Amino acid sequence: MIKFFKKIKWNDIRIWLVFFAMIFLFSFSNKRNEARELGRIEVRFLDNKGFFVTSEVVNNLLIQYFPRTSNIHKSILDLNRLELELLKHDMIAEAQVYTTVDGVLMADVLQKVAIARVSSDRGTHYLDTKGDDMPMSESFSARVPVIEGVVNDANRKNITRVLTAISGDDFLKTSITGIVIQPDQTLIMKNRNHNFDILFGRCDEVERKFANYKAFLHYAQNDTLIDSYKTINLRFTQQVVCTKF
């Protein structure tokens, strides 16, 4: 009998016992975690821009798919479905829904970013960074250029490229206040500090035209006659042509 016990590999047995104990504890902990009741919802916005969507709106979207009880069990939650429901909202670009160990349902929300406001006969709406339409918000108004004219499938990509260049430049973002789309698809821009029109032309050589515009303002800022200009023509990428009233 003593020889038998000596042959037993006690280290291996201890390893297997620890292994099975860990499996048991993990299974027990997982079942308890799944049975945990969620007491509240917390919404976290992943950007610090103006809120097109409020926490109350996200809360209301989530609780529509809860059981009719004050508290719910984590095991009956379909987190993927909750995320898909949030993504249906016109102002939400990305959403991640998950639960914490202390019983909180978390919703991390990334809002869409407006880069222009379109004003036409059909009404007013925003354009986001992808060039898609966004409805106006009751809770927040974005300070973005106002587009007058028609934005459609034919010109949407080009217009979005111009707007992206504006929104990505701190100076242009505060300077360009409006864009008029002409019937021939050329652009006329309005600026905040001066009365002249900016004849941008077609949506080509975008970076070069804006570089020329900023260079012109840099050299003309000390010119007392700058407000006597009627138009600043950027169509010729080799030079800026100005006309006076």
Residue-number span of the structural domain to which 218 is assigned = 114-244
Domain membership of residue 149 (yes or no) is yes
Domain membership of residue 27 (yes or no) is no
pLDDT of residue 22: 65
pLDDT of residue 4: 45
Domain membership of residue 164 (yes or no) is yes
SS3 for 162-182 is: HHHHHHCCHHHHHHEEEEEEC
Pair 57, 153 in one domain: no
Pair 233, 179 in one domain: yes
Pair 131, 48 in one domain: no
As a whole number, mean pLDDT of residues 116-130 equals 89
For the stretch 20-53, pLDDT in tens is 556 645 554 455 544 456 667 889 998 766 678 8
Domain membership of residue 5 (yes or no) is no
**Percentage of residues of the chain with pLDDT beyond 90:** 45
Pair 78, 118 in one domain: no
Number of domains in the chain: 2
CATH number for 178: 3.40.50.11690
Least confident among 44-48, 90-94, 127-131: 44-48
Domain boundary among 52, 78, 111: 111
Domain boundary among 70, 95, 111: 111
Pair 98, 150 in one domain: no
Calculate the average pLDDT of the chain.
82
Domain membership of residue 191 (yes or no) is yes
pLDDT of residue 48: 66
Domain membership of residue 119 (yes or no) is yes
Please state at what angle helix 79-87 crosses helix 55-63, rounded to 10 degrees: 130
Domain membership of residue 121 (yes or no) is yes
Confidence of residue 69 (pLDDT cuts 50, 70, 90): very low
Pair 74, 120 in one domain: no
Q: Is the pLDDT of residue 12 over 90?
A: no
Give the residue with greater pLDDT, 130 vs 101.
Answer: 130
Confidence of residue 237 (pLDDT cuts 50, 70, 90): confident
Pair 180, 200 in one domain: yes
Pair 230, 200 in one domain: yes
Pair 102, 147 in one domain: no
Pair 169, 224 in one domain: yes
Domain boundary among 70, 91, 111: 111
Least confident among 120-134, 143-157, 184-198, 222-236: 222-236
CATH number for 51: 3.10.20.310
pTM of the model: 0.75
Domain membership of residue 13 (yes or no) is no
Give the residue with greater pLDDT, 7 vs 183.
Answer: 183
For the stretch 162-221, pLDDT in tens is 999 999 999 999 999 999 999 999 999 999 988 899 999 999 999 999 999 999 888 877
